[in-house]
Structure 1
Amino acid sequence: MKVAQFSNCVSAIALVTALAATAPALAQQAPAAPQEADGLEVVIVTASGGNRTQINSSVSVTTVNAQAIADFKPSSESELLRMIPGIQVSGTAGPGGNSNIAVRGLPVATGGSPFVQIQEDGLPTVLFGDIQFGNNDYWTRFDASVANVEGVRGGSASTYASQAPGAVINYISNTGLQQGGYAQLSTGLGFSENRFDFRYGGPISDQTRFHVGGYLKKGSGPLDAGYDVSNSYQIKGNLTHDFADNKGFVRVLVKIADTQEPNYTGSPALASINGLEVSNIEPFPGFDGRTGSNYSVYNQDFLIFNRDGVLERVKMDGITTKATSLGGQVRYNLNDNWSVDNNFRWTDMSGGFAAPFLNVATRASVIGSVISRPGLPNATVASIRYAAGPKAGQAFTDTYLDNNVNVRTNIRDIGSTANDLKLTGNYDTGFGALTARVGYFYMKQNIAMDWHVNKSLRELSGNNPSQLDLFDAAGNKLTQEGISGYNNNWGDCCARDYDLSYTNTAPYIALELDAEKFALDGSVRFESVEASGNTVAGGSEFLVNSGGVQIATIRANGARENLNYTRDYTSWSFGALYKLNEDTSFFVRRSKGGRFNGDRQTVSGKINANGSLTQAGRTASVDFVNQDELGLKNRGDLAGGRYTLEFTLLQGDFKQSTFELSATRCPGGSGGCVIDAKYESSGAEAYATYRNGPFSVIGNATYSNAKISRPTGSGASGPFTRAPGIPDLSFTVAANYDFSDKIAVGVSTTGQTSSIDDGGREYPGGAVLNATAKYSLLKNVELSLSAYNLFDKFDLRGNGGVVNAGVNPAVISGNPALGRTITAAIRYTF
């Protein structure tokens, strides 16, 4: 635990407690928790008007409650999202985040979550889901304070939220409607990780209630880093006061978070390759991605050339976040027909991204290579030696090594101010209930960062790999601590320093007509995004003396790009619902939603010298997603139990122009390029629940036929081919059985079918099986065991690339799921 910073946690609890003791008039109506018997009766509060149940709404929406998430035991935040149909993510990036979250077969062209917005209590944590080195899954953590996670795909996500035409995923807080809580201590069995979770809330008076919850976590993790790469806490609290006579509520929300979690960047593996088919995948000797990573005690800190122009030693601490937020929610019923809602949040937030990226290369490709030394003759590599560890100074003779970066990005400011104001009127027309809404959304998002991408070399090992130093034929050292270049691994594109601000305003209107047998709705959102600030790119290479070694360096002192433009666009959505009976409804929907390209538009040649957009920049600054949906919602009795079913047929398309900073997908393997492509997808998604006495099961599946059209050499659109990284089918199923009041067990599985890489090579699908067992030692004391990947399957979900196809088995790289990970916990409920 971060003792020196824990005073912030105490301050947060003290603030909420003080508010609870003194507040005569603070609150909001809490979102209804999912009913255990029938989730289709849950009132939708995400990307909607907030007055319809799931079965009576013409949108695809899923609510997963906290208990279902705890039973599933996801290995990371992104794997939690696999519980929501339509969301396609490998779930292997680790607890820090940095996942590529696709939705409904609409792929991620470069990185992040361009079409998915993650919210906390109805407001986005960051405005854009694919901020470079600041993806939206960094900033939100599921903990005991969360009552449920709600996901709306397509439909009203385009018009009730900004920058979210694909989906909105909302983490909804428990607000203390019922007295009680729990404290839970969990620990890894066979690995170093301890976590303390807690929550408590309840009424203070007839009209006032509170809730406080959060977690503390520390350890080296299941992929043993050799040091405490996990070191986090988060405290969230809220205080609600309900007005008399059902007039509404007012609520204050507080969050304090200081998190440090690893980002896993993959591992090597062995495989058989026959044409474009990759099969028989198994762990690489000495680097089993189920249990090891390229984090290392010998690389837990490293040197960067910082923005002040000096060498600075920084920690290899994964993805770090620091956040303090204060929010307020108000609903007031003006009369029987009109109500006003307002949701506000101010957030002071910063962080960092530090990771040893993985790229498997041969030792032979390094020997004889040339190292640039501006102002001096270039040097030729003649030998490689261990830079640290028990073999320090000895010759390195392994066949393979890892020649990817040590990267450190300082996220100096990613704070924001957001507000969503909505006026709602309801009238009975005699033909049906007519609801009209007028809203206005405002959010100012700061993005200030400096990037430090070092050329780095280390041994290919999953057990504390050593950095590797290079030497010329005369024995002169060419690197320092395995670093051969500061800030220059991807060229002058990526020694970047910027301070940007985006202000998004969006008035929106919606009309709904709800008759006995059918419902109609339509909504329009008018977006305006104002961009300001500047970006400074890298300059020319120069030499820096690092411990007596001259290291080639780039600093962000090159061309300055100023932003001074505004982009306006419109999104809309129209739907119709037919109610066959109280247990069955059908819906159709058509939507067009836009999302703005934020910081990824910078340093791309699409901004004029005066800060305005070029014509190409105006076209590329907004990506539009078109979607059509046909859905069924049904519930009923089955074999003595009760079931619910949500099924949606869908198709969609979009065109995206975005900047890729690394050599991952750039032609010729150079860093920094603009990727233009068209995408289309058709498919289906399903979510079902079943409960029969002590037995319950929930499951979802997403089928996608996703395609991509890349420009030809002449700039024309090429043919549509299968999109990389999107499996045809992904699924999650979790089942639980209560044997008695004392014993309960559960099993779950998550998996997917095959997917292809950028070269068209097809990698097999797979699934992992998880299990939980609970035993009530006393009335209020529960012991539990949770096993992730019970059968220790090597499940390579995030396909990577082929390193060496000339050997048998071939050497490849990718991102496997965690291996067997067992956690024990004790919970005291009060």
Structure 2
Amino acid sequence: MKKSILRVCASAFAVAAASAFAVPALAQDAPVADEADTGDLNQIVVTASGKDKTQLNTSISVTSVAAETIENFKPSSEAEIFRMIPGIQVAGTAGPAGNSNIAVRGLPVATGGSPFVQIQEDGLPTVLFGDIQFGNNDYWTHFDASVANVEGVRGGSASTYASQAPGAVINYISHYGKKDGGYIQLNKGINYDENKVDLRYGGHITDSLYFHVGGYFKVGRGPLHSGYNVSDSYQIKANITKEFDDGKGYFRMLFKRADTQEPNYTGGVATATLSGGKVSNIRPLANYDGRRQSNISIFNRDMTVVGYDGTVSKQPLDGITTKATSIQNQFHYEFDDAITVDNNARWTDMSGAFANAFLNVAKASGVIGSTVNGGTVAEIRYANGPKAGQLYTGAYVNNNANFQTNIRDIGSFANDLALSGKFDMAGGKLTARAGLFYMNQKIAMDWHVNPALGEISGNNPARLDLYTAAGAKLTVDGISGYNNNWGDCCARSYDYSYSDTAPYAALDLDTDHFGIDASVRFDNVKASGTGINNTLMSDTNGDGIYDTTASGPVFNTPVTTTNAVTGGTVVVNIPTIGLGGTQEVFDYSRHYTSWSIGGLYKVSPNTSLFVRASRGGRFNGDRQTFSQKFKTDGSLAPAGVSPSVDFVNQYEAGIKTRGDLAGGRFSAELTLLKGNFKQSTFELSATKCGGAAGGCIIDAKYKSYGAEFYGTYQNGGLSLVANATFSKATRAASGSNTYSRSPNIPDFIYTVSANYDFGDLASFGVNASGQTNTLGDDGYVYPGSTTFGAVLRVRPIENLELGVQAYNLFNKYDLRGAGNVADAAAGVIGSGVTIGRTFTASVRYSF
């Protein structure tokens, strides 16, 4: 487990306490997030809004999911939490580290990440762009005991109250300690190796000063039974709030320290029936069951990295690692009954790494006879493991890369300042708001991508080496080169800086029977930085012949280096290469405008109708680099050649209602929606580039329509929560008006949770998460499915709770999206499957 946690926490509390007491004693009832959402539409919306209206009385599509509801599902990733928010479309099978493709309202992910979705913590984004290459926004946020609820705003005001988020804003809102108490909970995998401690505590120091601290510690091999600890993480979050003595406001300091190592599951292999463009009857391959196995292996725990300064090292393939330290402060003050000022600021020091073995299923027969490092492949042999040196006779191989991205710096500074005034008008109140958002985002990374070969197995797959008919070895430890996979696109080192300055304004007229609001945002994004794109090839067979497109000297130099996993020394015979390749400088800016307008009709105190139209823009950040879009002076090519801003148009109408039903209380939200947008971005994957290595520009336009639903029901001990998203998403090539179904987006996705609380004795719940079929990039339609879970909690004595949770209770082989066909004749496909049946035991003591 990581060191010096107590020292970090003590320092945070010292800084927070000192800052709080330094504020003049002035007071207001600070927003409280310590009570679970009742589902009665009474909660004040604090995300991408004016922060002064309830869910019922705002004309935006917003859902708040309470922490208890999330815990009942026991999500296996952050993305599975997002599936509980209507409008969000994501598979959730990438694992606890993140790296999910997050779509929203039929707005697809053309490349990767979440280009139209922003993830926030306490009202500020964790990263400016949701689709940073190998730095997606779900790397940096981890749901834990410190979170009170997760609030999602789709469309509408997400375009004008946030930058780079025309699709949705998902906000993790902390407990603040307004309600005294907390708990410590021990979690233990029953049929898998994972141990986790969740804890939180908050309370009052004085009547106007209160605090909260929470987080988790986690270690284990995980539910896919890796051969070593793939999880080794902790996160501590703390905050302290000072309410001003005159009841006019508050000052809050928040602190976070995270040090995480978690696995990223890159898929598996399965067998299926293929007929008429449809995939059905999906089941595990004989030696690979993706429900309980993965490509993670004790025989592939590290990779040789050739640095751009000629240095050589062994780096661990330990999934996605993050280190983050942030200090945030929130200030709210009401100068009089009309004027209010809010400021939310955060400084973040953040870095990490993406180090993974990708998986792609290919026929072994396709490798035999190919040319590698100047030789013709005649044999495939085990490079390591118990069969080292023996002939490999498997029908399929993994021919994808080992990838290591060193995220040197992805830190940021963000500040959101807002001023609002409320004025009485005949029959209502007019609120005027003006704000200024600023964020500086650093993106500094080094990419190292080695072509690799391994066996297809879910049980610690070994590396494979290639030989000629004469017995000449063409690879070393399964590696055929260094930094040269996927053509010349992906051996990179860069240091970028982006700043977004965005003034915004809003007018809101609220009367007894209706409301009208309009808002506008002006984003000014400046980009600067330098990078180098370099392809390097090593002399893996020792014949003194190198293939390289890099400039600079090449030497065949034996290098002694340290194995980062074992600590031992290794000698690697590879070239030392001077810095060369394609160098890129950019220095440019873009200005664009987003707007939103909505109307609300209050049918009754329990029912409201709303309509909204919006146009939101998002800047295409680091995914434009090394795409031949930039001129030598650093400016971006004309917009007709390479658009740098994608605009999303959305139209929605909905109803929100609550009331009595069969002796209980219900709430329901239904939104009908329609949208369209164009996107231009650069794609690295040869799969999406028609097989071409080196990447390609994707230009397309999209249309979608559909509906979102979120409902709750409470009757005594019974509680029900359900959400569903229906969408028809289509796309057309740029310049074409022929639309066809968008890939990787199911028409229907849903979650349902039902729980019954027997009071002080026990509680029991069941849940389901499912979707309909999905079109893959390969043109095949993959079936949908549903997985079920259950939770039982028993309270034998006061304050003590014993629990058992089941995930994927019936062990369903749920692909939850598209795969790729590896061998149509044999029905072999690549797949990303939901984790199989797991049981987790917990012991919680509340105080």
Same-fold call, TM cutoff 0.5: yes
Write out per-residue CA displacement over residues 87-132 of structure 1, whole angstroms, 9 at most, x where no aligned residue: 0000100000000000001110010000000000000000000000
Write out per-residue CA displacement over residues 487-527 of structure 1, whole angstroms, 9 at most, x where no aligned residue: 11112110011100000000000000001100000000000
Q: Tell me the CA shift for residue 331 of structure 1.
A: 0.6
Candidates 803, 806, 811, aligned match of 1:787: 806
Determine helix, strand or coil for the equivalent of 1:156. helix
Q: Tell me the CA shift for residue 363 of structure 1.
A: 1.2
Give me the whole-angstrom Cα distance separating, in 1, the residues matched to 2:421 and 2:577.
59
Structure 1 residues 790 and 419, CA, compared in 2 at 3 Å: closer, same or farther?
same
Q: Give 1:236's aligned amino acid.
A: K
Determine helix, strand or coil for the equivalent of 1:806. coil
Aligned pairs for 1:220-619 within 5 A: 220-372=221-373, 378-539=374-535, 541=537, 543=546, 557-616=580-639
Structure 1 residues 102 and 553, CA, compared in 2 at 3 Å: closer, same or farther?
farther
Structure 1 residues 23 and 387, CA, compared in 2 at 3 Å: closer, same or farther?
farther
Structure 1 residues 26 and 228, CA, compared in 2 at 3 Å: closer, same or farther?
farther
Give me the whole-angstrom Cα distance separating, in 2, the residues matched to 1:540 and 1:642.
65
Give me the whole-angstrom Cα distance separating, in 2, the residues matched to 1:744 and 1:555.
65
Write out per-residue CA displacement over residues 401-424 of structure 1, whole angstroms, 9 at most, x where no aligned residue: 111111000000000000000000
Give me the whole-angstrom Cα distance separating, in 2, the residues matched to 1:6 and 1:672.
46
Give me the whole-angstrom Cα distance separating, in 1, the residues matched to 2:713 and 2:665.
6
Structure 1 residues 540 and 74, CA, compared in 2 at 3 Å: closer, same or farther?
closer
**Over the residues paired in the alignment, what is the CA RMSD in angstroms?**
1.8
Give me the whole-angstrom Cα distance separating, in 2, the residues matched to 1:386 and 1:703.
48
Q: Give 1:736's aligned amino acid.
A: N
Q: Give 2:334's aligned amino acid.
A: N
- In the alignment, which residue of structure 2 is the partner of 1:778? 797
Determine helix, strand or coil for the equivalent of 1:231. strand
- In the alignment, which residue of structure 1 is the partner of 2:551? none
Give me the whole-angstrom Cα distance separating, in 1, the residues matched to 2:259 and 2:724.
34
> Does structure 2 conserve the Cα–Cα contact (< 8 Å) formed by 1:541 and 1:553?
no
Give me the whole-angstrom Cα distance separating, in 2, the residues matched to 1:12 and 1:267.
42
- In the alignment, which residue of structure 1 is the partner of 2:564? none
Ranges in structure 2 where 5+ consecutive residues have no aligned partner: 539-545, 547-555, 559-569
Give me the whole-angstrom Cα distance separating, in 2, the residues matched to 1:21 and 1:825.
38
Give me the whole-angstrom Cα distance separating, in 2, the residues matched to 1:241 and 1:664.
54
Q: Give 1:445's aligned amino acid.
A: Q
Q: Tell me the CA shift for residue 11 of structure 1.
A: 3.8
- In the alignment, which residue of structure 1 is the partner of 2:549? none
> Does structure 2 conserve the Cα–Cα contact (< 8 Å) formed by 1:25 and 1:250?
no
Q: Tell me the CA shift for residue 336 of structure 1.
A: 1.1
Determine helix, strand or coil for the equivalent of 2:481. strand
Write out per-residue CA displacement over residues 417-445 of structure 1, whole angstroms, 9 at most, x where no aligned residue: 00000000001112211000000000000
- In the alignment, which residue of structure 1 is the partner of 2:565? none
Matched, 1:752 2:800: no
Give me the whole-angstrom Cα distance separating, in 2, the residues matched to 1:161 and 1:146.
21
> Does structure 2 conserve the Cα–Cα contact (< 8 Å) formed by 1:771 and 1:790?
yes
Structure 1 residues 555 and 276, CA, compared in 2 at 3 Å: closer, same or farther?
farther
> Does structure 2 conserve the Cα–Cα contact (< 8 Å) formed by 1:31 and 1:172?
no
Structure 1 residues 578 and 619, CA, compared in 2 at 3 Å: closer, same or farther?
farther
Q: Give 1:108's aligned amino acid.
A: V
Matched, 1:703 2:720: no
Matched, 1:654 2:665: no
Q: Tell me the CA shift for residue 12 of structure 1.
A: 3.6
Deviates more, 1:716-725 or 1:351-360: 716-725
Q: Tell me the CA shift for residue 9 of structure 1.
A: 4.5
Q: Give 1:636's aligned amino acid.
A: G
Candidates 746, 764, 770, aligned match of 1:727: 746
Write out per-residue CA displacement over residues 228-273 of structure 1, whole angstroms, 9 at most, x where no aligned residue: 1111000000010001222100011110000110000100011001
> Does structure 2 conserve the Cα–Cα contact (< 8 Å) formed by 1:33 and 1:42?
no
Give me the whole-angstrom Cα distance separating, in 2, the residues matched to 1:12 and 1:246.
27
Write out per-residue CA displacement over residues 637-682 of structure 1, whole angstroms, 9 at most, x where no aligned residue: 1111100000000000110011111213112342311111111100
- In the alignment, which residue of structure 1 is the partner of 2:161? 160
- In the alignment, which residue of structure 2 is the partner of 1:70? 71
Give me the whole-angstrom Cα distance separating, in 1, the residues matched to 2:520 and 2:833.
42
Determine helix, strand or coil for the equivalent of 1:397. coil
Deviates more, 1:756-765 or 1:629-638: 756-765
Determine helix, strand or coil for the equivalent of 2:210. strand
> Does structure 2 conserve the Cα–Cα contact (< 8 Å) formed by 1:26 and 1:240?
no
Q: Tell me the CA shift for residue 36 of structure 1.
A: 4.8
How many residue pairs get aligned? The number is 819
Q: Give 1:8's aligned amino acid.
A: V
Q: Give 1:790's aligned amino acid.
A: L
Q: Give 2:395's aligned amino acid.
A: T
Determine helix, strand or coil for the equivalent of 2:480. strand
Q: Tell me the CA shift for residue 25 of structure 1.
A: 5.7
Write out per-residue CA displacement over residues 292-348 of structure 1, whole angstroms, 9 at most, x where no aligned residue: 001011111221112331221001110111000011100111111001000000000
> Does structure 2 conserve the Cα–Cα contact (< 8 Å) formed by 1:606 and 1:616?
no
> Does structure 1 conserve the Cα–Cα contact (< 8 Å) formed by 2:466 and 2:478?
yes
Q: Tell me the CA shift for residue 760 of structure 1.
A: 2.2
Q: Tell me the CA shift for residue 26 of structure 1.
A: 10
- In the alignment, which residue of structure 2 is the partner of 1:375? none
- In the alignment, which residue of structure 1 is the partner of 2:195? 194
Q: Give 1:689's aligned amino acid.
A: T
Determine helix, strand or coil for the equivalent of 2:694. coil
> Does structure 2 conserve the Cα–Cα contact (< 8 Å) formed by 1:486 and 1:554?
no
Give me the whole-angstrom Cα distance separating, in 2, the residues matched to 1:283 and 1:34.
44
Write out per-residue CA displacement over residues 592-636 of structure 1, whole angstroms, 9 at most, x where no aligned residue: 000000000111121111011111378510000000000100001
> Does structure 1 conserve the Cα–Cα contact (< 8 Å) formed by 2:776 and 2:818?
yes
Give me the whole-angstrom Cα distance separating, in 2, the residues matched to 1:759 and 1:525.
39
**TM-score of the superposed pair, with normalisation by structure 2:** 0.94
Question: Percent same amino acid at aligned positions?
Answer: 59
Q: Give 1:301's aligned amino acid.
A: D
- In the alignment, which residue of structure 2 is the partner of 1:806? 825
Q: Tell me the CA shift for residue 191 of structure 1.
A: 1.1
- In the alignment, which residue of structure 1 is the partner of 2:762? 743
Give me the whole-angstrom Cα distance separating, in 1, the residues matched to 2:359 and 2:217.
29
Give me the whole-angstrom Cα distance separating, in 2, the residues matched to 1:412 and 1:650.
41
Q: Tell me the CA shift for residue 476 of structure 1.
A: 2.1
Deviates more, 1:402-411 or 1:610-619: 610-619
Write out per-residue CA displacement over residues 730-787 of structure 1, whole angstroms, 9 at most, x where no aligned residue: 0000110013421110100101000111232111100100000000122011110011
Structure 1 residues 615 and 659, CA, compared in 2 at 3 Å: closer, same or farther?
same
**TM-score of the superposed pair, with normalisation by structure 1:** 0.96
Q: Tell me the CA shift for residue 721 of structure 1.
A: 0.1
Q: Give 2:72's aligned amino acid.
A: D
Give me the whole-angstrom Cα distance separating, in 2, the residues matched to 1:765 and 1:134.
29
> Does structure 2 conserve the Cα–Cα contact (< 8 Å) formed by 1:539 and 1:554?
no
Q: Tell me the CA shift for residue 34 of structure 1.
A: 5.9
Give me the whole-angstrom Cα distance separating, in 2, the residues matched to 1:270 and 1:408.
30
Structure 1 residues 298 and 128, CA, compared in 2 at 3 Å: closer, same or farther?
same
Give me the whole-angstrom Cα distance separating, in 2, the residues matched to 1:761 and 1:68.
35
Write out per-residue CA displacement over residues 8-61 of structure 1, whole angstroms, 9 at most, x where no aligned residue: 355445655676788776998234456654430000000000000000000000
Q: Give 1:783's aligned amino acid.
A: L
Give me the whole-angstrom Cα distance separating, in 2, the residues matched to 1:642 and 1:5.
44
Give me the whole-angstrom Cα distance separating, in 1, the residues matched to 2:747 and 2:370.
41
Structure 1 residues 718 and 34, CA, compared in 2 at 3 Å: closer, same or farther?
farther
